[in-house]
Amino acid sequence: MQNPSHKFQLLIISIATPLLVGVYREGELIEEISSDQKTSEILLPLITEIMERYSIESIIYTRGPGSYMAIKLTYIMLKTIEILRDIPCYGCSAFLLNGGRPIKAIGKLYFIKEKETIITKKYEQPPETEFGLPQRIHDLELDEESTPEYLLPAV
């Protein structure tokens, strides 16, 4: 395990492929992990392995919008860790980690953010949407809520 005097945080982007996990030491990215496996198969083993190597003090995840199943699974895993290990879990908007670009909803529908409102919009050609881990998380705007943000589009 790393030096316990260091403060480590995790940032998890599980709402799209690839799943991204960043390990941050005092807010600076020190390790990036990427996986094309399903969130349900890889997230818990990844978190377990990371927690064996680092003394994690908090976890941030993208609480939405995005893949509902991935959001639910991530939240349940993190809430369990929060309860069992007393490691606080925080949420942030997925739009902060993809430059505000559209996020896949269902079919040809994508979530877009107009000012402070999130709506769905149909795209005939899928827009380019790539998520990335920031080099620093000091200024990452965390939501007051850590619960999933479900925005179900009309089908």
In this prediction, residue 1 carries a pLDDT of 53
Question: How far from chain centre, in Å, is Cα 112?
Answer: 17
Average pLDDT, the chain: 91
Q: Taking the domain 8-97, which CATH number applies? A: 3.30.420.40
Residue range 108-130: mean pLDDT, rounded? 90
Measured distance CA(97)–CA(79) in Å, rounded: 22
Asked if residue 20 lies in contact with residue 33, where contact means CB atoms within 8 angstroms, the answer is yes
E strand segments, the chain: 8-13, 19-25, 28-35, 56-64, 89-93, 103-106, 109-114, 117-122
Question: Per-residue confidence at 22, pLDDT binned at 50, 70, 90?
Answer: very high
Q: Model-level pTM?
A: 0.91
pLDDT tens for 24-82 read 999 999 999 999 999 999 999 999 999 999 999 999 999 999 888 999 999 999 999 99
Measured distance CA(85)–CA(115) in Å, rounded: 37
N residues, the chain: 155
pLDDT tens for 123-134 read 999 898 899 999
DSSP category for residue 146 = -
Measured distance CA(89)–CA(19) in Å, rounded: 18
CA angle 102, 32, 26 (to 5 degrees): 100
